[in-house]
Structure 1
Amino acid sequence: MISKQRSYVEQENRGILYLVPTPIGNLEDITFRALRILKESSVIAAEDTRNTRKLCHYYDIHTPLMSYHEHNKEASGRQIIERLKQGEQVALVSDAGMPTISDPGYELVRAAVAEKIPVVPLPGANAALTALIASGLPTQPFYFLGF
């Protein structure tokens, strides 16, 4: 069972949409919590299941994968929302880094919020912030306008 998130009120018979960041370039750049959520979720919704399958194989994760990307987001998104409404836990991942940043994941989050389904973001890999802190540039103010 996934450990209880305490920053929201749990809703009976509702699943949780976890936003799970994945490594950018080095498979070891992932948190213990992210690995646990990936292992314990009912399904992993992945932008590219081929990339996510490599990560899962590396960490011996056997959670079923389903695709959620720009070209199938409407149909796949409806399926994911239905699973969440039935109480399943869904982990959303992108190809690399933080889900919803320059990928269609934000639309799934919007749909989950509209259905009052809890959305739990996990901290982790983020290309923009990683590049910023290594640049030597001042970090305040910082604006990200997308890719």
Structure 2
Amino acid sequence: MNRFLIILTVLILATGIFHACQPDDEDEKIEARKNILGTWICSESSQVYKSLSATYEVGISEDASSTNGVLISNFYQLGNSIQIKATIDEYLLDIAQQTLPGGFIVKKGSGIIADNYSEITMTYEVDDGSGQVDPVKATYVRK
């Protein structure tokens, strides 16, 4: 019985040691999210609904409902009160389809965050509710 307890104790300790040595992906996602919070200048090229290019401010804040989520305000220059949800996975940003106030639909989107967190390049598709999809390219730089 004594030998069994020793083996069990060693196994439990070994499991704890190996688990503690693995990187914590959630901590990395939270850190990546923290590094992109704030105000950005968006340079956007739209093919359908707006002029060929526009420059305006957007804000990125934490999405409290997700450890790796962010909220982007003034997305597609729709106003500071309108926010879209996006998720961060290391240096990748993903925008799932979502319907916004005013009938706008973000069909999909993705982005790449520069490794020094100074720039985000994105592509996304927006429908103003008419059914015509506007492919958009945008670059966010720190304000």
TM normalised by structure 1 equals: 0.25
Between structures 1 and 2, the one with greater helix share:
1
TM-score in terms of structure 2 length: 0.26
Higher relative contact order by CA 8 Å / sep ≥ 6: 1 or 2? 1
User: Larger strand proportion, structure 1 or 2?
Assistant: 2
